[in-house]
């Protein structure tokens, strides 16, 4: 089924990043492992949106250099880049045509947080089909950590 499994602190980190970046798009990496048909996130690694300032409200770009650094960091921790996340300021958390046109990694998680008027709302995740023709919705499981249970 290929669910995306996040801990509560990962969900919170993505939401907070989206709120801090508002009214611009935020972006970052999902580090972890694909195991037992699940994308298991171990770490959320924020990236800097390097799109031009006038375009950051509805576009993001992660530089090859940032991807290289994230890959190096993931390997050092025994992890992989299993996906990316970004925000949609004042828009639904569904992939846009632009997202589809620029997605390059089939079978990696593509999480989107909707941020309306500065407040994070719905988090969704998507998988790019192997033929890159469209995204399929991906179920998100948020696991409670000990600190959130206590």
At 27-43, the pLDDT tens digits run 999 999 999 889 999 99
At 72-91, the pLDDT tens digits run 999 999 999 999 999 999 99
- By three-state DSSP, how is residue 126 classified? strand
d(CA 111, CA 109): 6
Fold of 3-144: Cytidine Deaminase; domain 2 (3.40.140)
pLDDT of residue 59: 78
d(CA 64, CA 56): 18
Domain ranges of the chain: 3-144
Does the reported pTM lie above 0.95? Answer: no
Instruction: Look over the chain and give the mean of its residue pLDDT values, rounded to a whole number.
Output: 91
Give the distance from CA 67 to its chain's centroid. 13
- Which of 79, 86, 138, 78 is CA-nearest to residue 108? 138
Say if residue 149's pLDDT is above 50: no
At 102-121, the pLDDT tens digits run 887 778 899 999 999 999 99
């Amino acid at each position: 089924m290929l669910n995306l499994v996040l801990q509560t602190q990962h969900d919170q980190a993505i939401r907070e990043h989206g709120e801090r970046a508002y009214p611009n798009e935020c972006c970052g990496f999902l580090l972890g492992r694909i195991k037992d048909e699940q994308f298991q996130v171990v770490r959320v690694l924020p990236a800097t949106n390097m799109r031009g300032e006038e375009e950051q409200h509805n576009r993001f770009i992660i530089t090859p250099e940032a991807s290289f650094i994230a890959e190096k960091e993931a390997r050092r921790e025994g992890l992989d880049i299993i996906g990316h996340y970004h925000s949609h300021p004042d828009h639904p958390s569904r992939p846009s045509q632009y997202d589809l046109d620029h997605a390059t990694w089939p079978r990696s998680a593509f999480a989107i947080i909707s941020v309306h008027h500065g407040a994070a709302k719905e988090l969704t995740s998507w998988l790019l089909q192997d033929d890159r023709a469209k995204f399929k919705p991906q179920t998100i499981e948020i696991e409670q950590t000990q600190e959130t249970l206590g």
